[in-house]
Every structure is written in structure tokens, then in C-alpha cells.
Structure 1
Amino acid sequence: MVATKLFIFLIIAISCFRLLRFTESKVVQEEVDALQEISSTLGSKYWKLNADNCELEMVGLTLEPPKNSEHGIVCECLDQNNTDCHVVKVMLKNYNLPGILPPQLVKLPYLKEIDLSYNYLNGTIPHEWASMHLNFISLLVNRLSGEIPRVLGNITTLTYLCLEANQFSGNIPSELGRLNNLQTLMLSSNQLTGKLPASLSKLRNLTDFRINDNNFEGTIPNFLQNWKQLNRLEIQASGLEGPIPSSISLLNQILELKITDIKGPIQDFPTLKNVTGIEKLVLRHCNISGEIPTYIWTMKNLQLLDVSFNKLVGKIPSTISAEGLRFVFLSGNLLSGDVPESILKDKSNVNLNLNLFRSSSVEKNSMQALPCLETFKCPQYSNCLHINCGGKDATVKETGKNVLYEGDGQVEGGTAKYYLNGKTYWGFSSTGDFMDDNDYQNTRYTEKLVLKDFNIEDEAGGAQKPLVKKISNVHVTNKMLEIRFYWAGKGTTRIPYRGVYGPIISAISVVSDSD
């Protein structure tokens, strides 16, 4: 039978009653009733499906949908007369739905895709879903909790499973290894623990695997080599330890490889000579020593290289033939020699700070890439500093006097940005492509780790609450004070939507003890 698809989009506007009319068709009454139950369970009150014409009726005084909302129901008719139609896809993204995941999905026997991303759904995944023939489940950015149900391993038709940015805990169930059709598995930004189950080695069709920002144990498993189709691998601040297995060189289809913040023994640079198509390579803070292999600088598809905060030595080749290379971040290593002109062809996208480079033939162009190449000298000094982060100048009354907080909101952000306030002689330097914010170890100054794994929501006792942290006995060397913010891979940049998020700092105030 020829299947025709009718796309029913949920368009919510202020109205008391609205009909969205489509081709005459017939959805079985059981599924119409089920959709109404599903709507109620999700916490939605504004729509229902017309049984006779596969029409979506908007009822009640509806509100404008959220700005970035996406919505739709897809019906598929099994006959050319459109008299035997069934729901095959439900999508309600960014609708702030406050309910729970609906067990009633099981009453939609032809359903293939469910996308409820970016809502406030709580509870866990209903066991009833295990009997369905779904191929796509996305529950990205919700408030789901508890353990990942083992019965998910029964949905062997799944090709896509995204549980990212929830509050799932416990181990990854070994039953997920049964999902032999799975291509995408995204579990980042949860509270998962334990070791990666060996059964995952059976997922030989995986193309995308992400487990960032969790609390796993053990080393990065060698069975990753089984995923020969893998295009994207992300293990950032996952809790797993090194070394990076040498078998990773067998993943020659990789386009994006991101492994960061792993503990473990010192290791050599992973062998990636056969991964010729790689586009983004991030091996930040992985305790890697030795030299950067020369073939890295010849990879024609490489666009981003971030090997910051390792123990790399040696020189950068004078000629770099990686034509597509746009972002290079080598901060916090022990690299030496001259800085080649070829790497500074687009200096705004390069950060080589805190290495042992000599002044180069392009020193006049190197300030963006090497803001700390030399000791900074101020024409005048001050014993206090007040900055309004991300805003304009603001005057605040403190201890009976007005204090001017200078704004930095007029400064355009960007990759490897270096900014100096020419009036009062404070500034900032940013490292990274804003996929990650980087910190570094500086042998020139005395350092003190003040806050580690700082969670502002926990510290403040909830969201939308201000918090002031006072830090005393700050060490100043050569009349210079550095304040550094480093994202160690914890947390997510998916909320409220994928974007750039720095430290949640409203203002910085530095006052001398003598004041």
C-alpha cells in the first residue's frame, strides 16, 4: 500500500476556537482518544484531534507559544482514500510542559517518533514504552530522574536515543547493548555513575556517542574500537580516567573527537594518523606529554585543534598545510621555539598563551595569540577595581559612598579575544571557540585555587538568587592580579538552548586591605 503523510502542525495563537483543516482523512477513534489522554498527562490543555478529518482543534483561550517552540503531529494513511490513518510522530519541543511522560503512548501502535525536548517533564520513562516499535526518542533538557529503565533495551527498533540534560542517576543499564540498530546515543549532563557496560560494544551501528558531564568510574574502555561507523565521540568531564586507548586510531570515520578533563597516567599523543577526515579535535587537559605529531598539521579537513593544558613540548612546524584550520588552542603547555607566521594567518582564532615561545618574526601581530608573552606594564596603578560583568557602567552605593562599576558590555566577544581597558588598565583574555572556556597554569605568578566544581545554584540555595563570595588574602605579584574562570566540562550549554555560556558572574570588586 502506498503511504501518504499528512503533517499537522500545532499553531497556538490567542483564540477561543480554531480549526486547522487538512485533506479529508480518518484517524481511528482509539488514537484520537489516546492523544487527548497524552495531552492531559503532559500538562497541555489546548488541543485535541478531530476524529473525522484528522484536524487539530485548538480550544480554550490559548497563549502564545514560547519563542523557540517547535511542534507537530504527523499522521500516515495506509490507504489511498485516507480512511485508515494513524499517528506516527509526536513533537512538542520547548513548550514548558509540566507533566510526566505519558504511558498512553502505547495506545498509538504506529508511533515511530517522539520528541518532547526542552520541557519541564519529570518522573521517569514509562515501562509501557518498552513494547512499542519506536525508532526515535528525544527527551533532551527535561527534569527526568531515577535510573534509566532496563526495559529500554527491548525497543530494538531504536536508532536515536537522547536523554541528555536530565537528572538520571545510577549505571547505564547493560540492556542498552541490545539496541543493535542504534546510531545515536546521547547521555551527557546527567548524574550517571559506574563503569560503561561492556555490552555497549555490540552497538556497531553507532555514529554519535556523547557522555559528557557525568560521574562515571574506570578507564575509557577499549571496546570503543568496535564502533567503526562512529563520526562523533564526546567524553568531556565524564569522570572516566585515562589513558586514551590506542585502539582509538581504528575509528577512521571520526569527524569530531572531544575528550577532556581525564585523570590518569601521563600518556603520549594518541595515534590518529589514519583518522584523516577529522574536522574537530579536542584533547584538553588529558595529561598528554611529548610532541604534537607532525601529521596533525597536515590534516586537510581539520578545522579546530584544542590540546590546551597538557604537557606537550617541542615546536610548531614553520609551515602548516592544514588548509581548513581556523581555530588553534595550545595554551598551558611547554611548547617552545618561534611562532610560525602560518599559524597566525588569522590571529583572532589562535591562543598559544603560557608556553615557552620566543618572540617571533610576527611579534607585532602576536598580542591576540600570546597576550602574556611578556610581563605587562601599566603606566599607572590602582588599589581597587570594580567591574560590571556583561553590562554598562553602573554606580552602586556601598558603605555610604558611591562606587563606579565599569561595564564591559560594549566589548564584543569572540574566539581568543584579548581586551584591554585603556583608561583604568584592566582587561581580559578569552581562550577557546566558546565550545569550552579554558584555564591554564602559569609559572609566572603565584596561583591559588579558590573554588572548585562551584555550583552557583546549590550555593545560593536555588535559582534566581544572588550570591556574594568574599575571598581574602589574595596574592598580587609584580602589581598584577589575575582572576581566572575555567569550565572543567561540567554542566551543559544546551539550556535554555545550545549556545555560549560563561561564568555566571554579575560583578567583580577588588579592594586593597589598606582601604
Structure 2
Amino acid sequence: MTIGSVLVCLVAVAAVGNALASKPYYRDYLHKRANDRVERIKNLPATLSKPLHSKLNFELYAEPVNEEVGGVKDVVTDVLTKFFQYTGGDYWYRSDFWTLGDPCTWYGITCNSDKEVIKIDLHSNNLTSMVPSVLTNITTLVHLDLSHNSRIPYDIPTELWEMENLEYLDLSYCALGSELPTKIAASNLHTVILTGNRLTGLLPSWTSCRNLTHLLLDGNAFSGSISFQSYGFSKLETLTLSRNKLSGSFPEPPFGQMFPLQVLWLYENADLVGPIPSSWERFSALKDLEVEHAQGAIPTSVIMKWENISHLSITNGELTGPVPAEIFCNSTLRKLRYISFAVNSLDGALISDSSQSCCGMPEDMDIVDFSSNYLNGILPTCVTTGYVKEVYLHNNYFVGAFPYDADTSRMKNLRVLQVCDNTLSGSIPSYFVSADTTGLRQLGLCYNQFNNIDDQLKDFFTRIKDYATGCLLDHNPFNCPIPDFVPSYCSAACSNCNTGDRSYLCDECVTNSQCGWCGETNNCLEGEYNGPRDEYHCEHSKWVYGNPQQCF
């Protein structure tokens, strides 16, 4: 998955319309989401638990043997030499000592104390041609990693699935094609990573793999439905099936069985839709969930069972109704570090008035993202000025001014505050001056109805010139003149007719040669008969031209 995979968010773009997708701040947001997913996919393998059942476990994860330990059997030397020849060894990035002397000293080869080859790790090494079946003659092999060698675009040899001692297999990003076998003899497999290939067909059941703990199949072209019922994966901790062509409803775990599942990724399967099953409450060990196209209400009772959840993302779907108070007012979710319900149809207040007092964010909360919903009411203090590092509430219907009872000491972690495309009004809050905002990298207030930049904010804007990469104040009816201390890259603009100049002088507004338009928020705008030049996030039908009787 590359940076070009920003296309993964096309579903979100379609949901919110071309107008939003054309705005630079929103394109940047999609780009960041795509990059974040790239990093998560790249870093996941390093976080996976190691095999516990292997008698070779210690040697397998020790540093490669570099000293002379004696020769291995001639047949293994011959196999590795052929492997070198078949995969273009002369063009590998690293081939230290290959074909010279003892194979236990060759780059990427690890031997155990019995001088048997147990590990081959040649990831990102420019291997070419197919994965040779000759490797299956190394019967002691436990760990095989040929990932990130995209010049071996062939099928996975059938013989590879017959290696009974193999526990770890990583062939991700090798452009491999074809389908996976329905049955395999490699019953000791603990980890299978096939991310980012061209594999097709139905998902395998592999009921013989009773030890399988990590199965990463994201970024392929698998089709059909998902069925936990047919799997023999009673030890499964990680299952990534995102970025495929899967369909049907979200899978139900076997009745009465608790799953040790910790990571479940199902996003970017356009035809995988439906409500989150109530049976998912049995995923009591779940730490990382990322799904799309969920329907119905937020499954509060299910989520409250996930005491270990740290990354919760249910986006790009049809979730409806209010945001449950338990999301922000329940000690069960104290391990939560990332929460996103972006691009759904949630409505009502993000946090009700009755829940404001109990609302709280962990001091190391990373991201809160409820963007592109139908949320309304005022901005909740505990979210916008809590301990959160990144807050995304853009493209909703929040109204009014920023909360002024903020505890600015809690803003020390704030890096991103994105509230563009709402109906917020009044002044940019002066408490930004006293807050520790040295970590702030993006302030997004565009496409609202803010009208004032107070002189008290001079020190704030002076500080952010040195470290903020994003300051978005455009499409707000600011009073003229814009203070000199506001950086030009913030794109703040004003009009002679903005709120504060002629907002209550309706006769003058609608008859003035410079202005002429009066809106429901008492703004006066420049424009001609066919419309104001900038409606500041208000509907055209709510603006009146040339008729004082229809104005405030």
C-alpha cells in the first residue's frame, strides 16, 4: 500500500459529496487517514506475538548465527544454492557469504544449536522469479520471510503448505496470484502474512491449523463471505481482511465460544455491510477494531464489553441515532486511545448536557474523530479542550461559540483541532493565548461564521507562526480589517459588510452599493442580484437581497 492509496477513502468522498471532497482541507484529511493506515499496516507484523509452542522458539528469534558452527548437511547446502540461483541471487541487495562455506554464516540464514537451518529471512532483498518449491526440502525450516520482494509474481508453491514444521510464513507484498488451498498439512503454522498480493477466491478455512494465531490477508482480491463458524482458529488473535472484495454481513463467532481475537480489520470491503453483531461482545480481548459500512445504532452494549479496546474505528457507514453517553462517561473504556465514527449519519449532541460533567478523556488520548455526521449543538468542552492530541469534528452542524469555561492546562497535548464546515460563530476563543499550544500543528476553523479575531490573540498567532503547518480561517465573515498579526497562510478574509459593521442596519445593508445581502445570522454580504459572493456556510435561500422587510 503506497501513498497513492488515498483512493481507499473514495467511499467516504462519495458519501459527503463532491463539494466537500474538493476542499483542500478535506483532501488533506483523507490523505492523512490513508497515510495512517499505511503506517498501521506496515507496523502490525512487528507487534504480533511470537510462537509459544515451538521447541525451536529460542533459536528462532535469536540473532542470526555469524560464527563458524560447522557444516550442515550437503542436501541443505545444495537446496540453498539452487534457491540463490532461482531467485537472481547475483542481483540481491545483500548476499553476504552466500554459496561460500557454511550456510549458517550466510546473510538471512539462522541455524539452531544442532546446525540445522530453521530460519530464512530475506525480506526486501530484490529476489526475482518464483518462490522455489525446492525450499520444502529443508524440513527443519520454521520461519520463512520473503516479504517485500515484488519481483516474484507467481503462485505460492503447493509444496510450501505441506511443510509440517513451518510456523511463520511472510510472503507479503510479493505480487503473488492464484487462490489459497482449502486444506493444508502445515498444521504448526502460527503466523501467516500474505498482505498486499493478488490472491483471489474464497477465504480458506484451514481447520487443521489449530495453532494459527495471526492471519493477515488484507490488500488482496478475496471474495465471498466471512464465516468464523468454519474456522478451526480457536487461538486466533489477529485477523486482517481489509481491502478485499468480501461481501455479506459481519461474521458471527461460534455460539458459546470466547474468541481471543485482539485485532480485527474488515474495512474497504464495499459489499460487507450490516449491523455490528451482538455476539461480538464475546471478543472480550479485542484491542483494535476497524470496520466500515456498519448499519443501525452504535452498539453500546457490545463496545462496553471490550475493556481492552484501544483503537475503535467504525466509519464510512450508516450508523444512525445519538452518540451514547457511555462512550465518554464510562471507566470501561479507559484504555481507548483512538476513536472514530467518521462519515456516518449520527445526530444529536456529541455529548448531552447531562453528560458534560462526567465526560473525560484519558491524558494520552490520541484521536477523536466524529467528522462528517449530523451532530449538532455546542462543541463539548471535554473533547475540544481535553487531553486529546487530535480532534476532528468537521462537516457537522455544531453551532454557537467555542466553550469559554475551558481548562487550558489540558490543551498541552493538542496537535490538531479541526472544526471546519460547521455553523460556529462569534470570536476565535481568547483562551488560546493562555493555553500551552506549542504542540499545535493544525487549527481548522474554515467554513464557519466566526466574525472576530480579538487583539488578545496576537501572542497566539505569533507563536504558531513558528510551528503550525496548517492554519485554516478561510470562508468566515471576519470584521475588517484582518489584524496584521494573522499569518497570511491562514487565508482569513473580510468584507466591508461583515458582521459587526452593518449587521443590524438592515436598510443600509440591502441598499448599499457595496453590500446588498442580509442573512439570518445578521451578516451583510457583498454581492449582486444573483447572489452574495460568499455565503459563509449558509443556504442561499436564507439570504435576502434588497428588501428590508425580510431582514432582521
Contact 1:159 1:181 in 2 (8 A): yes
Percent sequence identity over aligned pairs: 21
Match status 1:301 vs 2:372: no
Q: Using the TM superposition, give the Cα deviation of residue 312 of structure 1 relative to its aligned residue in structure 2, in angstroms.
A: 1.5
| Residues 139-191 of structure 1, C-alpha deviations (whole Å, 9 max, x = no match) | 1111100111334x3211001001110011111133x2321110000110101
Instruction: Say which SS state the counterpart of residue 154 (structure 1) adopts.
Output: coil
How far did residue 221 of structure 1 move? 1.3
Structure (1 or 2) with the larger CA radius of gyration? 2
Which residue, 44, 50, 71 being the options, matches 2:89? 44
Q: Which residue is equivalent to 1:254? A: 286
* TM-superposition CA deviations, 1:319-363 (whole Å, max 9, x none): 423414331001122222222222123576101122222224537
Return the match for 1:27 from 72, 77, 81.
72
Match of 2:145 in 1: 115
State the TM-score, normalized to the length of structure 1. 0.64
Amino acid at match of 1:210: T
Counterpart residue number, 1:244: 276
Answer yes or no: is the 8 Å Cα contact 1:7–1:75 preserved in 2. Answer: no
Which residue is equivalent to 1:355?
A: 396
Task: Say whether 1:332 aligns with 2:389.
Answer: no
| Deviation string, structure 1 residues 103-126 (Cα, Å, up to 9, x no partner) | 011111100000011112211111
Q: Would the aligned equivalents of 1:27 and 1:51 in 2 still touch at CA under 8 Å? A: no
Indicate yes or no: 2:177 matched with 1:139. Answer: no
Give the helix-richer structure, 1 or 2: 2
Q: CA deviation at 1:250?
A: 1.4
- 1:353-432 correspondence runs (5 A): 353-362=394-403, 368-374=417-423, 418-419=471-472, 423=488
TM-score by length of 2: 0.60
What is the aligned partner in structure 1 of residue 542 from structure 2? none
Distance 1:269 1:24, change over 3 A: closer
Residue of 73, 78, 90 corresponding to 2:109: 73
> Is 1:310 the counterpart of 2:344 in the alignment?
yes
Tell me, in whole angstroms, the C-alpha distance in 1 between the residues paired with 2:83 and 2:373: 54
Change (3 A) 1:185 1:227: farther
Paired residues for 1:433-444 under 5 Å: none
Q: In the TM superposition, what is the alpha-carbon distance from 1:223 to its structure 2 partner?
A: 2.2
Q: Choose 203-212 or 347-356, whichever is displaced more.
A: 347-356
Specify the SS of the correspondent of 2:116.
strand
Tell me, yes or no, if the aligned pair for 1:236 and 1:258 is still in contact at 8 Å. Answer: yes
**Which string of whole-angstrom CA distances, capped at 9 and with x for unpartnered residues, describes residues 415-469 of structure 1?**
xx65458648769xxxxxxxxxxxxxxxxxxxxxxxxxxxxxxxxxxxxxxxxxx
Conserved 8 A contact 2:126-2:149: yes
Aligned length: 367
* Distance change >3 Å, CA 307–CA 54, structure 1 → 2: closer
2: distance between equivalents of 1:7 and 1:268?
A: 42
Kindly state the Cα deviation for residue 194 of structure 1 after the two structures are TM-superposed: 1.1
Distance in 2 (CA, whole Å) between partners of 1:425 and 1:7 is 51
Give the SS at the match of 1:314.
strand
Shift of 1:198: 5.0
Give 1:445's aligned residue. Answer: none
Query: Which of 372, 383, 393 lines up with 1:343 in the alignment?
Result: 383
The CA distance in 1 between the partners of 2:307 and 2:66, in whole Å, is 51
Of the candidates 242, 266, 273, which is equivalent to residue 235 of structure 1? 266
Structure 1 stretches of 4+ with a deviation exceeding 6 A read 1-4, 6-10, 363-367, 410-414
CA distance in structure 2 between the partners assigned to 1:318 and 1:181 by the alignment: 46
Q: 2: CA distance between counterparts of 1:480 and 1:99?
A: 60
Give the C-alpha shift of residue 212 in structure 1. 0.5
Provide the rounded CA distance (Å) in 2 between the counterparts of 1:253 and 1:22.
42
Call closer, same or farther: CA 1:169–1:72 in 2, change over 3 Å. same
Q: Distance in 1 between matches of 2:314 and 2:339?
A: 8
Q: Secondary structure at the match of 2:417?
A: coil
CA distance in 2, matches of 1:339, 1:2: 56
Q: Which runs of 5+ in 1 are unaligned?
A: 11-19, 57-70, 79-84, 378-409, 428-475, 483-515
Which piece of structure 1 moves more, 323-332 or 365-374? 365-374
Check conservation: 2:394, 2:421, Cα contact below 8 A.
Answer: yes
- Counterpart of 1:279 (choices 292, 306, 310) is 310
Secondary structure of residue in 2 paired with 1:179? coil
Confirm or deny that 1:321 pairs with 2:352: no
Q: Distance in 2 between matches of 1:115 and 1:350?
A: 39
| Separation of aligned partners in 2, 1:321 and 1:126 | 53
User: CA-to-partner distance for each residue in 1:367-391, whole Å, 9 max, x for gaps?
Assistant: 93312234899xxxxxxxxxxxxxx
User: What are the residue-to-residue correspondences of 1:97-116 with 2, within 5 Å?
Assistant: 97-116=127-146
User: Pairwise mapping of residues 159-238 of structure 1 onto structure 2 (< 5 A)?
Assistant: 159-174=190-205, 176-197=206-227, 200-223=230-253, 226=257, 228-238=259-269
Residue by residue over 1:261-290, the C-alpha shift from the partner in whole angstroms, topping out at 9 and shown as x without a partner, is 45xx53443521111121110011221112
Amino acid at match of 1:321: G
1-structure distance, mates of 2:134, 2:297: 51
Question: Partner amino acid for 2:392?
Answer: N
**Aligned-residue CA RMSD (Å):** 3.5
Aligned residue for 1:350, secondary structure, equals strand
CA contact (8 A) 1:203 1:227 kept: no
Matched to 2:398, the amino acid is F
Q: Work out the CA distance in 2 between the residues paired with 1:51 and 1:216.
A: 49
Deviation of 1:244 (Å) = 1.6
Partner Cα separation in structure 1 for residue 120 and residue 76 of structure 2? 12
From the two aligned structures, give the one with the greater strand fraction: 1
- Amino acid of the structure 1 residue aligned with 2:282: L
Give the secondary-structure state (helix, strand or coil) at the position aligned to 2:176: strand
Amino acid at match of 1:305: I
Structure 1 range deviating more: 105-114 or 40-49: 40-49
CA distance in structure 1 between the partners assigned to 2:177 and 2:98 by the alignment: 29
